Amino acid sequence: MTMPKAHPELNRYVLPIPERVPPHDTPMNAKEAQRPEPKAFLRPPAGAPNVLIVLIDDMGFGASSAFGGPCLMPNAERVAKEGIRFTRFHTTALCSPSRQAMLCGRNHHTVNMGGITEVATAMPGNTGLRPDTCATIAQILKYNGYNTGAFGKMHQTPTWETSPSGPFDHWPIGDGFEKFYGFLGGDTNQYAPPLIDGVTPIEQPKSIEDGYHLSEDLVDQVINWTGSLQTFTPDKPWFAYLSFGATHAPHHVPKEWIDQYKGKFDHGYVRQREITFEKQKELGVVPQDAELTAPTEWLPEWDELTDDDRKVSCRLAETYAAFATHTDHQVGRLLDTLERRGVLDDTLVIYILGDNGSSAEAGPYGTFNEMAFQNSIGMTTADILPRLDEIGGPNAFNHMPSGWAHAMNTPYQWSKIVASHWGGTRVGMTMRWPERIKAKGEMRHQFHHLIDIAPTILELAGVPEPDFVNGIQQKPLEGTSMAYLFDEPEAADRRTTQYFEIGCNRGIYHEGWTAMTMHRLPWPDEREKVGEIEDDTWELYGPDDWTQAHNIAAENPEMLRKLQDRFLIEASKYNVLPLDPRQRERFDARVAGRPDLLNGRTSMTFLPGMTRMNENTVPNIKNTNFTVTAEVELGAEPANGAIIAQGGKFGGWCLYVKDGVLAYAHNWVGLETFTVRADEAIGEGKHEILLEFVYDGGGAGKGGEVTLKADGKAIGKGRVEKTVPAVFSFDDFMDIGQDAGEPVVEDYGPTGGTFSGTIETVTIDITGESHHDHDLLLKAKHAKQ
């Protein structure tokens, strides 16, 4: 049997491609009918390659060995040697915006992703909702006959749409990916991730004890998926988007990988910048006349640190580097597999070494728990040193000091979040496809941006930019294909203007010049005094200043004014305005003005078995009075396990029973756990259990008084001195009758967190009244009527 061939004449400007049925004769009896040709399989134009995008998280230009850095990444080097290295490739300086911009081929504010999804607002450019007028590259390729799959971090789904109610239009499967295996949040525990297959939460395929690691799992999934496709439809190309959680914090990597870097960073981050810069000149990824930018005055000099500071700092840097090498090794497994199958040379490989620069968010001393930073809680060497040997393992959520992030962004200033300087936006990128990219080991120094990836793929696949997708007219792509420079190393730049803005840190590139202003630091610092955005100081750098080493704003006020005006023009064009200087406040949907799944409700009743509920889909019990009411039934044996748990070992709370005794625990960012226990056990039978929390007030993160009740009787009282102010976890959610993921406490008893009794309902109320008392008030009101 011969397979039907792809149709040669198709209108690919309207997607899905309309089916045209030619006129034909229709006799009454099928025996008399002329058999029509079988319907042609939909395929892209002949010669279209497989497409593999590998995206590394939080990796600066000076991190990978492919661009002169200390993190050994031989497979990134391999792609570079077999293809092209791009030395002026840029991101938005933050994860969600970079990813949405890349997938859509349009600027991040055009696709409403001005910040991460957790801080979306009601303002255009920041709503977190991709417009239907901006189809993704996955949608376009799928409708042109590609198989499409996404694996790993997908931080583009609006947080209020992540519940089982959806909608699922902005999940990966709604963004054009037929296969999705990964997680939806900004970061995740590499040993215990909240995995989703399609739209279904699943358990990881093996345990931590059996050696599970997410990066390895993701590559296994891509290998299996592409293998199946090759078996069933060898003539049909695929698009695989492999987006690692690495090297975003937490920096989780097996100890044997960390040991390979022992002592490699003892010279400190100032010297590391010099070493990297020398190597970068050797490789040619920066010009010979480029200058190394000065260390920032906001960070301590290496020699100013104590011996303990340096010991902790080096271990955190060693772990980051090991994480990078481990991740690259997984990429190598995939490339080797594709090569053995004979399809690697039929595949366009785009290896992007960072969705932004390396992250300096942990501050000058690093952190044992990245969630502490997310709550503006700094950690010191004294907090980390006693747990040095746990760094990189499942009991840590570690992140390296800002000085090392600065070194990983060599030779540039600043880091992730700082959209105004190349340290936040410029990353390494390599690309290979022997069919079209004949260059081997060459450099390309033209200025490009993530929004140029989608147009490049479309040109190489022979697929046009569509006019309509799903009946909706599309906004033109704002990116420019990079294919023009494959055969012309000295071709003139086709991207001559690009704006940057994240959190009011903003800049503009125009015809070689750059102007920028930094509104606030990328890490917490008590010395920082943040003013009004109108008062921010602008800097100016000339076309001959590759690294932005010399601010010439004072000498060139007219040029600075011209570029400031250009920024406003671009900002007006792409929905950047109004600028929003708010920071932690935007985590609260009520302040930010984004959609709220609760829609004004102050209470929610949960059923047993409900699990992995995102913080943005349940009542927010932070910084307020709240009650939890549970209707339970206990057996003859003393009960154990969680009735309700939110968050995990790095921040969260739970109401649980241990040996029949009710308890409430508040885990304050993994540093302290405050526990209030009942004075007596709860016996067999049905009970109404009540937790009342009365918040102190006076700001965020304060303490409160706790009362535990059973059947209306107070059975325990106590105090919580500090509470998590902003976010419990990006990857460990709320569970009923269990504590999935990493547990809030280790005190659950023999059931390991699973509640041994029976739960009927659990109700959270943030009105300040208990659910039980609220019902009594309603009954009294009806009685009076």
Q: What is the DSSP string of 360-384?
A: -TT-TT-BSBHHHHHTT----HHHH
pLDDT digit string, tens, across residues 15-73: 999 987 777 788 888 888 887 777 789 999 999 999 999 999 999 999 999 999 999 99
CATH topology of domain 598-784: Jelly Rolls (2.60.120)
The reply to whether domains 56-524+533-563 and 598-784 share a CATH topology is no
Q: Domain residues of the chain, as ranges?
A: 56-524+533-563, 598-784
Structure tokens at 177: 């990916």
User: How does pLDDT run across 548-582, given as a tens digit for each residue?
Assistant: 999 999 999 999 999 999 999 999 999 999 999 98
Q: pTM score > 0.85 for this model?
A: yes
Rounded Cα distance between 685 and 721, Å, is 33
Q: DSSP secondary structure string, 647-683?
A: EETTEEEEEEEETTEEEEEEEETTTEEEEEE-SS---
Label residue 2 by pLDDT band (50, 70, 90): very low
The helix or strand, by DSSP H or E, that contains position 100, with its residue range, turns out to be helix 95-104
Could you count the other beta carbons within 10 Å of the beta carbon of residue 578? 12
Q: What pLDDT, on a 0 to 100 scale, did the predictor assign at position 315? A: 98
Q: Are 648 and 744 in contact (CB under 8 A)?
A: yes
Name, in order, each residue with C-beta under 8 angstroms of 495's C-beta and a sequence gap of 6 or more: 446, 447, 448, 449, 452, 480
56-524+533-563: CATH number: 3.40.720.10
- Contact (Cβ atoms closer than 8 angstroms) between residue 283 and residue 76: no
Q: Tokens 């303490």 label which residue?
A: 703
Average of per-residue pLDDT across 473-487: 97
Of 702, 148, 61, which is closest to residue 429 (Cα–Cα)? Answer: 61
How many CA atoms within 13 Å lie on the side-chain side of 419?
26
Rounded CA gap, 209 and 216, in Å? 15
Evaluate whether 362 touches 523 at the Cβ level (below 8 Å).
yes
Residue type, 8: P
| Alpha carbon of residue 104 to chain centroid | 16
Cβ atoms of residues 517 and 502 within 8 Å: no
pLDDT higher than threshold 60 for residue 357:
yes
Residue 178 above 60 pLDDT?
Answer: yes
Q: What is the mean pLDDT of residues 536-559?
A: 97
Query: Mean pLDDT, to the nearest integer, of 756-779?
Result: 67
Residue 7: predicted pLDDT: 52
The predicted pLDDT at position 194 comes to 94
Q: Give residue 784's pLDDT band: very low, low, confident or very high (50, 70, 90).
A: very low
- Report d(CA 743, CA 746) in Å as an integer: 7
